[in-house]
Structure 1
Amino acid sequence: MPIITCTHEETAVQIAHGYAKASGKPMVAIVHDVVGLLHSCMAVFYTYLDRVPVFIMGATGPMDTTRRRPQIDWIHTANVQGNAIRDYVKWDDQPYNAASIPESFARAYRVMMTEPKGPVYLCWDAGIQEDKLNGEIPIPNVARLMPPSPIQGDLKALEKAAEMLVAAKNPVILTDYTGRNPQSFDNLVKLAELLAIPVVDFNRRLNFPTNHPLNLTGSDMIEKADLILSLDVRDLYGPLVKLDKITRKTVYRTQKDCQLIDIGFADLHISKWSQDYMQLQETDLNVVADTLVAIPLLTRMCEEILGKNGKKREEIRKRFDDHKRTHETLRAGWQEEVKKNWQGEPMSLPRLAHEIWQVIKNEDWVLTANTLEEWALRLWNFDKAYRHPGKALGTSTQIGISTGVALAHRGAGRLVVDIQPDGDLMFDPGALWIGAHDKIPMLVVMYNNRAYYNDWEHQIRMAKQRGTDEKLAHVGMEIDNPPPDFATIAKGMGCYGEGPIFNGDQVGPALKRAIEFIKKEGKPALVDTVTQFR
C-alpha cells in the first residue's frame, strides 16, 4: 500500500476508518506529534464509536530535554502524549527504546483486531527515531501473536435462546453491527429463513439484503413481536421505545410480555469516559458472544429442535408468506412516495435516490455511507455484503470515510458512490484533492440542501414549543448567501465537477457524464445536486 498524502490529520484517520470498514483490514494513520494528534481527535473518537480497527501512529519529543531545539520541540512534546485520546482508544503505548518497539507493534495489532475492535495509538520518541541502532533488534514470530479465536458464547444459554426462538409465534430480529463480518450477512439470512423471522436492520453495517422478503425494516414488527432477538445492537433501549422529541419522554412500544434475547459484546465495549454504552435495558437472556460464530451455532440448534415437527414447519411457512406480503407492501408504498413531488425544485430526496439508482443499477456499485435519509435503502437493491459498509456518522466524517471506502475498492472494477452532504464537505474539501492526487475513483453526488438542517429542524421544534418566531430558525444553520459552488471546488481540486442541478430530469445525464470521466481518468467526479431540506 503506497503512502496517501492527506491535507488534514482528521482526514487521514477517516480514510483509514473507511478503508478498514470496507476491507476488514486495518490501515495506519500517521499524525504529527502533539498538534497532529489534537487535529485528529474527532476522527479517532468516531473510529472508537464505530468499532473500527485503525492503527494511529505519532511522535513526541525528544523526551531527552538536552536534545530539544528551542521553542518548536518543546511545544510539540507532551508527557504521556496518549492521554489526549486515551479515553477513546482501546490501547496506547509510548516505547522508550528501540528494543521495545516490536512487542509494542505486535500488541497493538492484537488488541486492535480483537473483538470488539477499535483504534490504537502508538507514539514514538523523536530521539529514539533519530538514534542509530546498536545491533539487530529481535523480531517476534508474529504468527504466534495473532488475535484470539472468536467468543463462542455459553452453549446452554444459546440452547435456551434456540428453544425460545422456535417456540415464539411472532419473533423479530434486530441487528446493527452483525454485518461487520461479510460471512454474517449470509449467516443471518439462513437463520431468518429457517424460522421465517423478520429482520429490522439499523444499518451500522449492512446486515441483511434489503430486497429479501424477510427484511421488514420500517414496519411495525417491533410492536407485534412476542420475542425479540437482538444481534450486535449497542442501543437496545432506543428501538423499543417511542420518543417525543420535544419533551424527550419515552414510552415502550413493545408488548408487555415480549421476551428479549441479546447476543453481542454487551459491556465488553464500554468506556469509563464516553457514555456511548446507552440506556441500560432489561433482557430475559443476555449472551456475550461473537455473532460470527454464534449465529451459525444458533441456527443448527434451531434446526435440531425443529426436527420433523410438521405442524411447526407449516406455521413457519405461513409466517413467511405473511411477512413477504408485508415486505412487498412496504416497497410498493415507497415507490409511490417517489412519484409525489416528482417535478419539485429543488428535487425531493426520493427523486434523487431514484435517479441515482437508475444510472448505477447495472454497475457493480458500492455506497459509501449516507443513504439520503434511508431512501437509498428503500429503493436500491443491496444484495451483497460489500454494497454498503454502514450508514453515515456525524458531520465532518463522511468525505474522509468515503475516500477510504473508495481506496479499499480501487482496482476492483466497482463504481463507488458517495452521497455527500454539503455541510460535511465544507469541513474538508481537501479530501477531493487527495482522491485526484492518488487516483481514488469515486462518484460524489451532493446531498446539497444548503443547510445544517438537522439543527435547523430542531430550532423549529423549539420555536413551536416556546411560541417564538420560526422564521429565525435558519440563523446559524444555513449554508447559503452565497451558496458554495461545489462543482467549481471539485474542478479546482483536479476532479470532474458539474452543477448545481435543481431538476431531477437533469440528474441522470449528468451522472452518466461523471461516470464516463471516472472510468477514463480514475479520479473522483462530483455532481452538485440541490435538494429539498428533507
Structure 2
Amino acid sequence: MSGQRAEISSGERTVTWIQAAETAEAYVEALIAQQVSCLFLNPGTDTFPIQEAVAKRQALGRPVPKVVLCPFEITALAGAHGYYAATGRPQAVLVHVDVGTQNLGSMLHNAQRGRAAVVISAGRAPYTIDREVRGARDSYIHWLQEQMDQHGIVRNYTKWDYELRRPDQVGEVIVRAFQIAASDPPGPVYLTLPREVLMASPGDVRIYRPERFPPARIGAGDPEALHEVARLLVQAERPVVLTGSSGRTRGGFEGLLRLAELLALPVAEWRDRVNFPADHPLYQGYAADALLRSADVVLILDHDVPYIPTRTSVAPEATVVQVDLDPVKERVPLWTFPVDLPVRADTARALDVIAGYAGELLTDADRRRVESRRVELATSYARLRDEWNRSALEQASARPIAPEWLGYCLEQLRRKAPELIFVVEAVTNGATIARQVQVAEFGTWFQSGGSGLGWGIGAAVGIKLAHPDRPVAAVVGDGSFLFGAPVATLWTALTSGAPVLVVICNNACYNATKQPLIAAYPEGYSVRLDRYVGIDLEPAPRYDILAASVGAYGERVEDPAEILPALERGLARVRDGQSAVLDVILAHP
C-alpha cells in the first residue's frame, strides 16, 4: 500500500516522504502536491501504470486529479492551456510516446506563443527485452515507437525537457517541471516517462512541497526605467497604448485601467485577453494606424506584434516604450520593431508603479492637457461605437448572415448573460466580432496567443472545467472547428461534465488563405476565373447534425432574425448541462 510515511524534521521543510509500490503512484502523488486539478489524458500502451495508480488511489480514498479523457491529443493540450489561462494554475497533460507527442501539433505552438504553463508528460518506448524487468517490451510497436530523439519533436517549443531516469527521482523531477513552467515568462515543459521506470518499486520517495520551489517572478522592473516611462507619458501630447495580453492577470487589467484613466491614454488592443473595458471612452478598438502615425509616445504592453510594418507606419519622432515579460522576444528569430526603451517587467506590477510616479509628476498644465485629451477621446470613442453599431444594424436582414450582425447579436447575448466567458478563434472574422462584443470584465475573453487553429473548442472545455459555474461560448471559424477535432472534443465536454456553447462562423472557406492570395494576385487567374484552389469548403459539412453524435444540441442558423433566439436556446441548453453547436451560415467571401 502506498501512502504518506513521515514528514521531514522541522530543520528541513522541503519534502514529505511517501512509500510507493510503483513509481507511477508517486507520479500521481507529486501532481497532487503541485495542486493539479486536471490530468488531460490521451492514453496508450505506456500510460497504463499511471491509470492503474489513479484507480488504486481512488479505491483507497486518496486524492487524485480529475482525469479528463481526450480522444485526440490536441483536445488535451488546448484544454490544459485554457485551464491555465483562466486560473494561472498549471495543469498536466499525458500522451502516448512519440506519436502522441506529434499529435499535440500546433497546440504546442499556441502554448509556447500564448505563454501557457503546462506540464506535458509522454510515455517512452520501453528500453529492454529482459523478461525479469516489469514494463519491458512486449508488443510489436515498441520497436517502432523508439526514436533517436523523441524530445527533439518539441524542443523548439518548450522551456525545458527531461526524461525520468530513476524511480526515486520522480518527486524532484515533477517539482522542477512545474517550477520552470510557471516561472516568468511561463510556457510548456516536456517530460518522458519510460515504462520500466513507472513500474519499478521505488520504496521511499520524496514528494517536494511547491511552496519551497515557487516560480521565479520578474516583478515590476527597473524603477529608474519605470520613472522614465511615467515622465514620457506625462509630457506626451499624443500618446497611445498598444496592448496584447496585459489582461492575462487581474493586476494587469486593473493597472492599465488606472494608468489610462489618470493620463487619458487612448488604448488600442489585440485582444488575446480582456485588456481594457471595451465600453470605456478611452477604448479605441483594434485599428491604431491613425494614432500611431501622429503619436509622440507609444507604450506597448505584452504585445508580440504591435503593428505590421508593411501596412502601418509609426511617427518617426515617436518614442517607443515596451513593457513586457520578454520585451526583445528572445525566442522569435527575427523581431526588429524599433523600441527606444525596453523594460523587462510584469505589467501587473509595473503599471501601478508607473501610475504612482505619473501622479507625482503631474503639474496643473499637464492636468489641463490630459483633460482636453480625455474629451477628444470620448468623442472619438462615441463616433467609433456609432459607426460599428450602424454597420451591424444596416446588415441586420442580410442573407447570408453578415459577421457584423452575428457580433451584434453576441453582444446582446452578453448583456443578458454578463457572466458569459468568450473563447474566440474566429480568424478573419475575429476583429469584426471583437468590435461588436463589448467585454468589460477581467477574464471574460480568451484567444490562444498563437496561430495554430483548432484551439478554441478544446480551450473552451478547459476553461469550463476551471469555472464550472459560468457559461462558456467558443466562437470559431468553420475551419477552426474542423481542426479542433470536434467529435473528440465535444465527447470530452460530455464525459467530463463541461458543456460549452459553440458558435461556428461558417463562411464555407479558408478565408485566411483567400485574402492574401487576392491581395498578392489581384489580376491573377484565381480572381479572374473566380476559382480558388484548395480554399472552398463546399459542400459544407452539416455541423449541426454532427453535434447529436456526441450528445450535443445542434442547430443550423440561416435567418438573421433567428441568431439571437438561437443563441439564447443554445445558452439555455448549456445551463442545463448539454453542449450546443450553432452552425451560423455567413456570406461566402
Per the normalisation by structure 1, the TM-score is: 0.91
Residue 490 (structure 1) aligned with residue 554 (structure 2): no
**Displacement, 1:267?**
5.8
Instruction: Give the share of equivalent positions with the same residue, in percent.
Output: 26
**Displacement, 1:446?**
1.4
Distance in 2 between residues matched to 1:233 and 1:508, nearest whole Å: 34
Which shifted more, 508-517 or 321-330? Answer: 508-517
Residue 189 (structure 1) aligned with residue 244 (structure 2): no
Distance in 2 between residues matched to 1:138 and 1:401, nearest whole Å: 33
Q: Which of these residues, 312, 333, 338, is aligned with residue 282 of structure 1?
A: 338
**Displacement, 1:448?**
0.6
The gaps in structure 2 that reach 5 residues or longer are 1-36, 38-65, 131-135
Alpha carbons of structure 1 residues 141 and 529: separation in structure 2 relative to 1, 3 Å? closer
Task: Output one character per residue of 1:398-428: Cα deviation in whole Å (capped at 9) or x when no partner.
Answer: 2222222222221x2x221111211122231
Aligned to 1:255: 315
Distance in 2 between residues matched to 1:516 and 1:138, nearest whole Å: 48
Distance in 2 between residues matched to 1:266 and 1:141, nearest whole Å: 29
**Residues matched between the structures, number:** 512
Residue 88 of structure 1 aligns to a residue in which SS? coil
- Map 1:106-505 to 2 at 5 A: 106-133=175-202, 135-217=203-285, 218-219=287-288, 220-236=290-306, 238-239=307-308, 241-243=309-311, 253-266=313-326, 270-271=330-331, 276-306=332-362, 309-363=363-417, 364-370=419-425, 372-390=429-447, 393-410=451-468, 412=469, 414-427=470-483, 428-430=485-487, 431-466=489-524, 469-481=527-539, 483-499=540-556, 501-505=557-561
| 2:526 and 2:532 in contact (8 A); partners too | no
**Displacement, 1:467?**
5.6
Distance in 2 between residues matched to 1:366 and 1:194, nearest whole Å: 29
Residue 38 of structure 1 aligns to a residue in which SS? helix
Alpha carbons of structure 1 residues 150 and 525: separation in structure 2 relative to 1, 3 Å? same
Q: Which of these residues, 96, 120, 124, is aligned with residue 165 of structure 2?
A: 96
| 1:116 and 1:269 in contact (8 A); partners too | no
Alpha carbons of structure 1 residues 409 and 70: separation in structure 2 relative to 1, 3 Å? closer
**Displacement, 1:115?**
1.1
Distance in 2 between residues matched to 1:455 and 1:377, nearest whole Å: 21
Aligned to 1:61: 125
Aligned to 1:523: 578
Residue 402 of structure 1 aligns to a residue in which SS? helix
| 1:223 and 1:253 in contact (8 A); partners too | yes
**AA partner of residue 490 (structure 1):** A
Distance in 2 between residues matched to 1:117 and 1:182, nearest whole Å: 17
**AA partner of residue 200 (structure 1):** A
**Displacement, 1:57?**
0.8
Aligned to 1:4: 68
**Displacement, 1:258?**
0.9
**Displacement, 1:394?**
3.3
Distance in 1 between residues matched to 2:510 and 2:209, nearest whole Å: 51
Aligned to 2:143: 74
Distance in 2 between residues matched to 1:527 and 1:70, nearest whole Å: 44
Task: Output one character per residue of 1:341-361: Cα deviation in whole Å (capped at 9) or x when no partner.
Answer: 332211000111112222342
**AA partner of residue 258 (structure 1):** A
Distance in 2 between residues matched to 1:379 and 1:336, nearest whole Å: 11
Residue 385 of structure 1 aligns to a residue in which SS? coil
**Displacement, 1:242?**
4.4
Residue 90 of structure 1 aligns to a residue in which SS? coil
**Displacement, 1:192?**
0.6
Task: Output one character per residue of 1:206-259: Cα deviation in whole Å (capped at 9) or x when no partner.
Answer: 2111111111123521122111111112224x35x342xxxxxxxx52222111
Alpha carbons of structure 1 residues 380 and 425: separation in structure 2 relative to 1, 3 Å? closer
| 2:96 and 2:122 in contact (8 A); partners too | yes
Which shifted more, 34-43 or 116-125? Answer: 34-43
Alpha carbons of structure 1 residues 269 and 118: separation in structure 2 relative to 1, 3 Å? farther
**AA partner of residue 3 (structure 1):** V
Distance in 1 between residues matched to 2:327 and 2:570, nearest whole Å: 46
**Displacement, 1:369?**
1.7
**Displacement, 1:379?**
2.1
- Map 1:39-58 to 2 at 5 A: 39-58=103-122
**Displacement, 1:151?**
2.9
The gaps in structure 1 that reach 5 residues or longer are 244-251
Distance in 1 between residues matched to 2:93 and 2:443, nearest whole Å: 23
Residue 69 of structure 1 aligns to a residue in which SS? coil
